[in-house]
Each structure stands twice: as structure tokens, then as C-alpha cells.
Amino acid sequence: MASASLLKSSLVLNKSEFVKGQPLRHPSAVVVRCQPVSTSAFTVRASSYADELVKTAKTVASPGRGILAMDESNATCGKRLASIGLENTEANRQAYRTLLVTAPGLGQYISGAILFEETLYQSTIDGKKMVDVLVEQGIVPGIKVDKGLVPLAGSNNESWCQGLDGLASRSAAYYQQGARFAKWRTVVSIPNGPSALAVKEAAWGLARYAAISQDNGLVPIVEPEILLDGEHGIDRTFEVAQKVWAEVFFYLAENNVMFEGILLKPSMVTPGAESKDKATPEQVAEYTLNLLKRRIPPAVPGIMFLSGGQSEVEATLNLNAMNQAPNPWHVSFSYARALQNTCLKTWGGRPENVKAAQDTLLVRAKANSLAQLGKYTGEGESEDAKKGMFVKGYVY
């Protein structure tokens, strides 16, 4: 169980002060009397899974490893398959996901794999449970639990993430099936505001999901993605990200979420994809680490960045730049396209290409492993790996 003593010395801020950075205001009286405060007011309620949650989070956030995000919905997976001329059938999805999870030695670089519900209950083409194959590789199975984005009424054409209804029972079932962490993705759009309503809705939904996940034994990955869409500069991204993360951590605390048992999946702080100004990896690292230092408590074990449409090489270079000096957290990756893009093209749906595709996946996984350790050089990368993957209005 989380100890109240961990928080006794923490300064308690009013929400508006935490979000807006206003100075604390004291009463105008000459003498300020400090009354003893009950420690129960500071208690973070951890579930009966507290020790396991901490252990799982630390395992995923282990040196030189990161997350393979392979939780694309069936519709999104269909788009990926269509790009190589394959139909969107369960058999084709199974064949591709089998290729990913059975790559020899993948666990040397990958500590966790986020799965779609179909995959969690699926077997490989050889009849072995996908979950069992991952565990044998030393990879922790995770599960996408949100139900996707829908329009947010009353906003500036923004969205909110659905899926809280029935989440507790679904999470319990996912745990029984072998999942040990969860993912919930919501988004914030800079060109559309973001409105205070959209930011608050995103933060509250993430906090409720995180609390429910922990109560059912799953480490929640908290992912408020600030979309790359837009012509804005890096300073505007930084400004919005500060507001979003302040709101997120306020509501995580309000919902008694144990910070030691969560993982974060933020966007890197970059200019908008359509901005005329481009940032170097060193600039991205400086802005992103400054954001993390201002907003993320060191109790959080791991920061697993999303790639968000960056090229495979760009995402790896930016991660490497962030790991040139020690950080309070494990700074790593949770990539989908930035790990899979070249792998998928190499496979092309042909059985004879499976080994070559797996080798390509391992090349990307190793590159990001080195980046997590701050040792990636970028030498010998293919031209395909340098191509950007941003899609305006991308739906995951």
C-alpha cells in the first residue's frame, strides 16, 4: 500500500494555482496559525495490486527497452494491410501479428507490447497463444482499453475518448487473460484551440481510466497525445503541453492514482507538422525535458514517448538526444509506425519474407534500445526509415 508519509511534506496547491502557476496567497492577518493536518487527507489509495503494479511498471521501464505498440484497431490494421495489397481479414491480421511477436530475441529490446483485444485472445498461426509467446520472450503483454474518439459536444470541433462504461469488468477479464498494463489514448488538437473543455475532458477521462485500471491490476499508460497537426511553432506546443499535463496530474491525484504504478505516453515537444520551422533533435530534447521537469513527478517510473507520425529515424534521433544525460525517469519509446513501417513493407504479405521482415523489426528495435541508452548514432539507416509518416487528421 502507498504510504501517507511519502506525501506529508508535499505542498498542497489550489487547482487554479497548479494549472496557472499563480503565487500562493496567504490571508492578510498579521499572524498565520498553522493547524495540524490529518495525514488521511494526503493518503493515496492503492489497490490490493499495489506491489504488483510497481513491479510491472519497473519491468516495462527497464534499461535499454521500450514498448512495441501493436494495438491498431481492426480498421486501422486494415489500412496498413491495404498498403501492401492485402485484404483486411482476421487471418491476415493474425499472420502479421504472429510475425511481430515471434521475432527471435525481440525481448532484448522490447519490454512490453500493447495489443488490440482481438490479439489478446488470439493464437499465432502455429496455434500458440500470443500472450504466451510474449511472456516467453520476456515481454509484458498490455491491452488497449479505450473505445476510440468521438466528437465532443460544445467544443471547437474537438473530440473526447469513450470507453469508461464497463471498463472495470473488461479490465478484470483482460488481467485474467494475461494482460498486465493498459493503454488509453485521447488527443488534444492545437489548431482547434485547444478549448478548456477539451483539455479538462481529456484529463478527467485519463484519470478515471487510470484509477479503474489500477483497481484491477493493470498499470495504466496515460496518453494525452498532442497531435502534430498544425502550422504552429515549438513554443506553442510547449505552452499547450504544460496546460495539458498540469490538468492531467491534478485529476490523477484527485482520483487517488498511485504515481509509482503508472507509465506515461506523451508526445515529444515539436513544431506542428506543417510548420515552416523545423527543430533539431537537440531542440526537441531541450523543450521536451524542460516540460517533463516542470510537470512530471519523479515518482513516475517511465516516460514512453509516442512517435506520432515522425519518421522512424527522426523518432529515434529525438529519443537519443533526450538520453544524453541522466533523467529522473526512464525515458524510452512506445512506437507503432516508427517500429513497424519498414517491417511491414519488407514482409509484403509473403511467407518467404517473414525472416527478412523480422530482421528489419529487430534493427529498428535495437536502434531505439540504443537511443534509450543514449548510444544511437544513426549510421547505416535506409532511406525508407527516414521518410516521414505524418497523416493529417490521422485516426488510430
Which residues are catalytically annotated?
A: 223, 265
Residue whose cell numbers read 523489426: 361
Sign of the four-CA dihedral 257, 261, 267, 268 = positive
Contacts of residues 253-258 at CB distance under 8 Å and 24 or more positions apart, as own/partner, are 253/44, 254/207, 255/207, 255/208, 255/210, 255/211, 256/43, 256/44, 256/45, 256/211, 257/44, 257/207, 257/210, 257/211, 257/214, 257/220, 258/2, 258/44, 258/45, 258/46, 258/50, 258/53, 258/54, 258/214
Helices (H), 107-195: 117-120, 130-136, 167-177
Length of the chain counted residue by residue = 396
Give me the phi and psi of 299, to 5 degrees please. Answer: -65, -25
Measure the CA–CA gap between 234 and 288, rounded to whole angstroms: 10
Residue 154 host element (H or E): none
Measure the CA–CA gap between 284 and 93, rounded to whole angstroms: 35
